[in-house]
Amino acid sequence: MEDVVEKLIRWSEHLKPYKGPFLGAGLASLLTAIASSFYDYFYRGLNPLPSVLIPLVIAIIFLACWYLTTEKLYQRLAKKLMMSRFKNPKIAVLSVSGIDEIETKKLLRSTDYTPEDWYNRLCSNDISAEKTIDLSMKKDYSIIFNPFGELYPEKDTTNLRTFQKIKEYIKNGGVFVNTAGLAFYYMWNPKTKIEGLTGPMLETYTGAAKTEPIIGSTYKSSISLMPVVLTEDSPLTDTWLYKNFGVRTTLGSMRSLEAKNAAHFDIIDENTIIQEFRSALRCETAEAQLIPIIRSEYLYHPTGRTHECYPIAAVKYGRGYLILVGMVIKKEEDLPLVIKAIKEIIERLRKEGSLEVGDR
Average pLDDT over residues 305-314: 95
In a domain, 129, yes or no: yes
Higher pLDDT, 17 or 51: 17
Same domain, 221 and 175: no
In a domain, 75, yes or no: no
Beta strands of the chain (E only): which ranges?
91-94, 129-132, 143-146, 151-153, 175-178, 186-189, 194-197, 202-213, 219-230, 247-249, 255-258, 260-261, 273-276, 280-283, 288-300, 305-317, 320-325
DSSP-assigned letters across all residues of 221-272: EEEEEEEEEETT---SSS-HHHHHH-EEE--SS-EEEE-EEPTT---PPTT-
pLDDT band at 11 (very low <50, low <70, confident <90, very high): low
Same domain, 106 and 249: yes
Same domain, 108 and 187: yes
Mean pLDDT, all residues of the chain:
86
pLDDT of residue 280: 96
pLDDT of residue 321: 97
Q: Which of 18, 156, 143, 49 is nearest to 93 (CA)?
A: 143
In a domain, 81, yes or no: no
Higher pLDDT, 320 or 230: 320
Q: What is the pLDDT of residues 134-183, one digit of tens each?
A: 999 988 899 999 999 999 999 999 999 999 999 999 999 999 999 999 99
Contact 321, 355 (CB under 8 A): yes
pLDDT at 222 over 80: no
Contact 359, 211 (CB under 8 A): no
Contact 325, 180 (CB under 8 A): yes
Same domain, 210 and 265: no
In a domain, 77, yes or no: no
Q: Which of 157, 181, 173 is nearest to 276 (CA)?
A: 181
pLDDT at 3 over 80: no
Least confident of 35-44, 193-202, 236-245, 259-268: 35-44
In a domain, 76, yes or no: no
pLDDT > 70 fraction of the chain, expressed in percent and rounded = 85
Average pLDDT over residues 270-287: 94
In a domain, 326, yes or no: yes
pLDDT of residue 77: 80
Looking at this protein, which amino acid is placed at residue 45?
G
Same domain, 241 and 144: yes
pLDDT of residue 1: 60
Same domain, 19 and 140: no
Same domain, 55 and 100: no
Higher pLDDT, 39 or 115: 115
Same domain, 28 and 157: no
Higher pLDDT, 277 or 81: 277
Higher pLDDT, 56 or 342: 342
State which residues form the domain around 131: 88-195+233-359
Helices 71-85, 2-15: crossing angle, 10 deg rounding: 150
pLDDT of residue 57: 79
pLDDT band at 244 (very low <50, low <70, confident <90, very high): very high
Average pLDDT over residues 252-273: 90
Contact 326, 341 (CB under 8 A): no
Last residue of a domain, one of 186, 214, 230: 230
Overall domain count for the chain: 3
Least confident of 33-37, 45-49, 71-75, 158-162: 45-49
Same domain, 25 and 171: no
pLDDT of residue 257: 95
Average pLDDT over residues 261-273: 89
Other Cβ atoms less than 10 A from the Cβ of 311: the count is: 29
Q: What is the pLDDT of residues 315-339, one digit of tens each?
A: 999 999 999 999 999 988 899 999 9
pLDDT of residue 145: 96
Q: Is 36 helix (H, G, I), strand (E, B) or coil?
A: helix
In a domain, 288, yes or no: yes
In a domain, 244, yes or no: yes
Same domain, 326 and 350: yes
Q: What is the pLDDT of residues 16-36, one digit of tens each?
A: 776 777 777 777 777 777 777
Higher pLDDT, 168 or 78: 168
Contact 151, 185 (CB under 8 A): yes
Same domain, 165 and 52: no
pLDDT of residue 216: 65
pLDDT band at 283 (very low <50, low <70, confident <90, very high): very high
pLDDT > 90 fraction of the chain, expressed in percent and rounded = 53
